[in-house]
């Protein structure tokens, strides 16, 4: 049983083969954090905490002057009765006070894991896969229950947490802050790592030492954002890709979030993640409840790589859902960079004809097919086909594509409205706005108010009609701006600060309904590339357009950084034209293909204008992709060389049975007369013999991992190689 309750010591031990998490109820009231990390056996868990009197640290236990909430490592700390650090939550009561006294009331240990109502969460397929602990705390004066939910997976080094407020009292209260998890480490000699960026430069890695005080990352944009992914990790100072202790936390949520780390004067570290408390207030009336999103907590004793592989497995197998979860995805061509808004049915058909000949399997029609949208200034909201561009409608084009033996996919951006649209003219109050204030535009558009039920219902109906109107196998769901003037015409003044979270609940309802109604459609999420690349979105749509930056060199960093949390199967990666549309760089087709083949391969260029030589190369690359795609998409990833550290990048994927692997090696700028170089592989079975690219000479796994594989002498910028490795 992976959750044990030791009544005598008042200690919970959540464990699996590799991880332990220990909580102690102190003074019968306070859930204190004892330990999280490598699996331990503890004979005397209650001796872990040590209390020492500290000046200016008040005590809630007059009989024990050494005890203070200010120095107690806690599980879900409050503010206002002695702990001066960042609280996990704050409520404002009807009398205006923010003082609460939640104390332990009871607990329950359950087999399995429950889904969260209206929110994405990781799941199980069988009750034996996980156990759940629910600690119930109660504030007797307010009559409010606070449930702290913990689930530990049996075969994954993952603990998930969330909090749930249940109002059984008699006065409305406001929730001003409610993180999904908080945990206090006993030490602070860590580094921390996070993924930062912006549009076209997402998820770059930054590692820094922890300092005293609060360090935080967040989003206030109404989306998880290009700027900071909802993830951070604490790393032991010696942690590398392969070795060391790493603690990763991530939030299953696609909206505003905050993750913070506080190092206190006694060198303890408080880590938390949840909905961003800034600009958030949620009112709960008696009889109502509030559920926080779920936090995913991963511990790895095998460095950053070990953490990533755990996140990958969880996301791939217990977050993503639907028929495509376990299926490779069709190789697609998207017309966006080939035509932008300027296309005709004839041009699209030519692109499709040529693509089919090259072995491409799915044709995606991007932005510009509806209303009078010839640029980004109009028509979002008017989801009616533009007959000037597509005289035979979506159905005509989709049928043509399908008759060729290809699948057809369509782009939509349902969450938005253009001021120049019939929808906006009819319902000017359906967008997020504050009466009397300006409505700030971004990409000439406004955000529909998905906190309103009728707006969500309208979108469900409209999209259901479109998706049923033609043979549509794939949908690209875009979202091209962040929120401003966040207010809803449908909410009373005291609920205005609920708008952003209600929007997310509305979005999740729409996605749940549509993905249930159209189980065979492959949904790809997009927000100007990777502006909403988070675990929450993957619960509904199993892949995301990784970035609008399709340059092969930039993509190395973006895909490498993304892989810190997300597996290759969640990333869309396209081969595009040169000079590259984002950075103007010229890279060889081979390099562009080899980068895109490390994820879900697609194309986004005028294939009808390619030279014969390039066409032949694409045919060959596609055939290679078919050989390696299962290894890339379902294998374990090992990062070998980082593009953030030099001109070389390498990563590899290994099948679960270690019988096949594929290594990708890229050199951006060549060095004159370069040194000899052996690349040390990882993740192979040391005892198995492997052949590389079917060459005669086999190597042992340990040989390839310890001595390494000799790499070719590179004399050209933007060189790249793929090695297919198979056990004999």
Placement of tokens 């510009």 in the chain = 368
Strand 19-26 and strand 698-700: the pairing is unpaired
Stretch in the footprint of ligand DGJ (CB under 6 A) among 300-308, 312-320, 526-534, 707-715: 526-534
| DSSP 3-state of 221 | coil
Q: Residue 272 or 379: which CB sits closer to ligand DGJ?
A: 379
Task: Kindly state the smallest distance separating residue 558's Cβ from ligand DGJ, in Å.
Answer: 13
Residue of 221, 287, 292, 281 lying closest to 253 (CA atoms)? 292
Least Å distance, CB 120 to ligand DGJ, is 22
CB of 173 or CB of 599, closer to ligand DGJ:
599
- The single residue among 366, 382, 524, 648 that binds ligand DGJ, judged by CB under 6 A, is 366
Contact (CB, 8 A) for 270 and 184:
yes
Nearer to ligand DGJ, 9 or 366 (CB): 366
528, 567, 635, 643: which one contacts ligand DGJ (CB under 6 A)?
Answer: 528
If the CB atoms of residues 529 and 683 are measured against ligand DGJ, the closer one turns out to be 529
Closer residue to ligand DGJ in complex, CB, 111/377:
377
Q: Interface with ligand DGJ includes 369 (CB under 6 A)?
A: no
Q: Which of 478, 549, 551, 648 does the annotation list as catalytic?
A: 478
Work out the burial of residue 289: count CB atoms within 10 Å of its CB; fewer than 13 is exposed, 13-18 middle, 19 or more buried.
middle
Interatomic CA distance for residues 505 and 521, integer angstroms: 22
Interface region with ligand DGJ, contact rule CB under 6 A, candidates 28-36, 496-504, 522-530, 650-658: 522-530
478 belongs to the catalytic site = yes
Draw the binding track, 8-47, toward ligand DGJ (x: CB under 6 A; -: no contact). Answer: ----------------------------------------
Q: Would you say 449 or 548 has its CB closer to ligand DGJ?
A: 548
Among 488, 536, 534, CA closest to 511: 536
Torsion sign, CA atoms 419, 420, 424, 428: positive
Q: Which residues of 381-395 are buried (b: 16+ CB within 10 A; e: fewer)?
A: bbbebbeebbeebbe
Q: Please state the closest distance from residue 367 (CB atom) to ligand DGJ, in A.
A: 3
Q: How far is CA 624 from the centre of its chain?
A: 29
CB burial of 595-623 (b: ≥16 within 10 Å; e: otherwise) equals bbbbbbbbbbbbbeebeeebbebbeebbe
Q: Which residues, numbered 442-501, are part of the site for ligand DGJ (CB under 6 A)? A: 478, 480
Nearer to ligand DGJ, 366 or 382 (CB): 366
Instruction: Write the interaction track for ligand DGJ spanning residues 324-363; mark x where CB under 6 A is met and - where it is not.
Output: ------------x---------------------------
Contact flags string 410-449 toward ligand DGJ, x per CB under 6 A: -x--------------------------------------
> Is 529 a binder of ligand DGJ (CB under 6 A)?
yes
Number of residues that bind ligand DGJ (CB under 6 A): 11
Answer yes or no: are the C-beta atoms of 432 and 488 closer than 8 Å.
yes
- Active-site position among 366, 548, 551, 636: 548
Taking CB atoms, the residue at the shortest distance from ligand DGJ is 367
Residue 143 burial class via C-beta count within 10 angstroms: exposed 0-12, middle 13-18, buried 19 and up:
middle
Do the beta carbons of residue 82 and residue 69 sit within 8 Å?
yes
3-state secondary structure 161-184: EEEEEEECCCCCEEEEEEEEEEEE
The answer to whether residue 245 is catalytic is no
The SS3 assignment for 365 reads strand
- Interface residue with ligand DGJ among 158, 304, 385, 526 (CB under 6 A) is 526
- Would you count residue 548 as binding ligand DGJ (CB under 6 A)? yes
CA–CA separation, 234 and 194 (whole Å): 9
Closest separation between CB of residue 335 and ligand DGJ, Å? 10
Among the residue ranges 303-311, 312-320, 525-533, 704-712, the one whose residues contact ligand DGJ (CB under 6 A): 525-533
In terms of residues, how long is the chain? Answer: 728
Letter string b/e over residues 2-28, b meaning 16 or more CB atoms within 10 A of that residue's CB: bbeeeeebbbbbbbbebbbbbbbbbee
Residues in contact with ligand DGJ by the rule CB under 6 A: 336, 366-367, 411, 478, 480, 526, 528-529, 545, 548
Positions annotated as catalytic residues are: 478, 548
């Amino acid at each position: 049983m992976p959750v044990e309750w030791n009544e005598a010591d008042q200690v919970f031990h959540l464990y699996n083969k590799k991880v332990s998490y220990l909580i102690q109820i102190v003074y019968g009231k306070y859930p204190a954090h004892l330990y999280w990390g490598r699996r331990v056996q503890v004979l005397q868990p209650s001796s872990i905490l040590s209390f020492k009197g500290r000046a200016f640290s008040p005590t809630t236990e007059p009989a024990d002057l050494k005890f203070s909430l200010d120095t107690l490592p806690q599980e879900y700390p409050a503010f206002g009765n002695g702990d001066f650090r960042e609280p996990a939550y704050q409520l404002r009561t009807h009398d205006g006070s923010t003082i609460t006294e939640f104390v332990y009331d009871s607990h329950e240990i359950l087999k399995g894991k429950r889904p969260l109502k209206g929110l994405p969460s990781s799941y199980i397929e069988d009750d034996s896969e996980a156990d759940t602990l629910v600690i119930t705390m109660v504030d007797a004066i307010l009559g409010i229950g606070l449930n702290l939910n913990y689930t530990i997976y049996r075969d994954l080094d993952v603990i998930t947490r969330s909090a749930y407020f249940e109002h059984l009292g008699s006065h409305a209260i406001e929730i001003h802050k409610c993180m999904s998890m908080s945990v206090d480490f006993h030490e602070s000699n860590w580094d921390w790592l996070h993924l930062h960026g912006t549009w076209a430069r997402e998820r770059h890695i930054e590692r820094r030492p922890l300092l005293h005080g609060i360090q935080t990352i967040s989003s206030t944009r109404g989306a998880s954002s290009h700027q900071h992914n909802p993830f951070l990790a604490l790393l032991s100072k010696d942690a590398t890709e392969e070795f060391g202790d790493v603690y990763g936390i991530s939030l299953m949520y696609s909206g505003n979030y905050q993750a913070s780390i506080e190092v206190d004067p006694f060198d303890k570290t408080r880590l938390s993640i949840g909905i961003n408390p800034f600009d958030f207030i949620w009112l709960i009336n008696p009889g109502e409840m509030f559920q926080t999103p779920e936090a995913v907590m991963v511990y790895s004793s095998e460095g950053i790589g070990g953490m990533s592989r755990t996140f990958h497995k969880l996301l791939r197998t217990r977050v993503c859902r639907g028929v495509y979860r376990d299926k490779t995805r069709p190789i697609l061509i998207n017309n966006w960079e080939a035509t932008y808004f300027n296309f005709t049915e004839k041009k699209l058909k030519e692109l499709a004809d040529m693509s089919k000949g090259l072995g491409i399997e799915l044709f995606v029609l991007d932005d510009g097919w509806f209303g009078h949208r010839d640029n980004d200034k109009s028509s979002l909201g008017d989801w009616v086909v533009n007959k000037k561009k597509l005289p035979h409608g979506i159905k005509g084009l989709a049928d043509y594509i399908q008759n060729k033996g290809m699948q057809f996919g369509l782009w939509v951006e349902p969450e938005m409205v253009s001021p120049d649209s019939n929808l906006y003219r009819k319902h000017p109050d359906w967008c997020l706005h504050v009466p009397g204030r300006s409505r700030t535009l971004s990409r000439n558009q406004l955000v529909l108010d998905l906190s309103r039920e009728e707006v969500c219902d309208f979108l469900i109906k409209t999209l259901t009609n479109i998706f049923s109107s033609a043979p549509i196998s794939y949908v690209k769901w875009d979202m091209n701006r962040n929120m401003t003037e966040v207010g809803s015409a449908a909410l009373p003044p005291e609920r205005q600060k609920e708008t952003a979270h209600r929007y997310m609940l509305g979005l999740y309802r729409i996605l749940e309904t549509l993905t249930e109604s159209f189980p065979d459609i492959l949904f790809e999420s997009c927000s100007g590339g990777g502006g909403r690349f988070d675990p929450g979105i993957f619960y509904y749509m199993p892949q995301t357009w990784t970035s609008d930056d399709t340059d092969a060199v930039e993509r190395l960093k973006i895909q490498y950084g993304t892989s810190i949390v997300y597996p290759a199967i969640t990333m869309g990666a396209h081969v595009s034209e040169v000079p590259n549309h984002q950075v103007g760089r010229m890279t060889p087709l081979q390099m562009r293909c080899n980068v895109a083949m490390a994820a879900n391969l697609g194309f986004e260029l005028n294939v009808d204008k390619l030279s014969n030589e390039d066409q032949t190369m694409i045919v060959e690359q596609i055939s290679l992709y078919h050989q390696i795609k299962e290894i890339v998409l379902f294998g374990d990833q090992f990062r070998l060389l980082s593009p953030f550290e030099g001109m070389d990048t390498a990563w590899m994927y290994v099948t679960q049975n270690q019988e096949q692997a594929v290594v990708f090696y890229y050199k951006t700028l060549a060095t004159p007369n370069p040194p000899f170089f052996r690349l040390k592989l990882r993740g192979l079975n040391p005892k198995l013999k492997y052949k590389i690219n079917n060459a005669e000479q086999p190597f042992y796994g340990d040989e390839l991992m310890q001595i390494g594989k000799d790499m070719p002498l590179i004399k050209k910028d933007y060189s790249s190689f793929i090695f297919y490795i198979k056990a004999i």
